[in-house]
Amino acid sequence: MLSLTNRASITSALSDPDLDLDLRVLIGLRARLVDDDTKLFVVQAGDTPDVINEALAFAITGDQAEEPSFKWVLDHGRWFEILYDRGGERSRILVENHPGTELGIHYLCLSHFCRGGHQAGRLVTSALVSDGLRDRTACDAGWAPQAPVITQP
């Protein structure tokens, strides 16, 4: 879990060679938006609900999760982006699209795009991939090969 709430933390993340390249590109694109009212968070595979909720200062996942009240969810291929606006304070949350990502928040992102096995509310966003920018949705064929398949009864 990364909390990028100031220029120093953003610079540190951008210069970390161990972070996923697509993630660093997204952080770089969103860095200018971070200010006193807008924070950037990164949820990575292995982060627990307690760690996630404590960093955000509100319960987005786990047993105490609030009803989802996000403004939007974007699909960037290997990363999702969620925007919460809570009383003028904005939280941009980058969520790793990986089987090891905490199930509640991962499902929140995936279910926003894939409902009932079809593309309900199809939202096309740019997926950041090493060979350039391509338009995709979370339900497109060939999308995010490491992502789990979610089926609904």
Domains of the chain, residue spans: 2-136
Query: Span 2-22, mean pLDDT?
Result: 96
Per DSSP, the three-state class of 129 is strand
Return the minimum-mean-pLDDT range out of 28-37, 48-57, 131-140.
131-140
pTM: 0.75
| Contact indicator for 106, 95 with CB cutoff of 8 Å | yes
What is the token pair recorded at 80?
């999702």
| Contact indicator for 52, 105 with CB cutoff of 8 Å | yes
Write out the DSSP string of the chain: -EEE-SHHHHHHHHT-TTS-HHHHHHHHHHGGG-BTTEEEEEE-TT--HHHHHHHHTS--SSTTPPPP--SEEEE-SSEEEEEEEETTEEEEEEEE-STTS-HHHHHHHHHHH-BTTB-TT---EEEEETTEEEEE-TTSTT--TTSPP----
pLDDT of residue 115: 55
pLDDT digit string, tens, across residues 56-93: 999 999 888 888 788 999 999 899 999 999 888 999 99
C-alpha span between 135 and 152 (Å, rounded): 25
The span from the first CA to the last CA of the chain, in angstroms, equals 32
C-alpha span between 124 and 122 (Å, rounded): 6
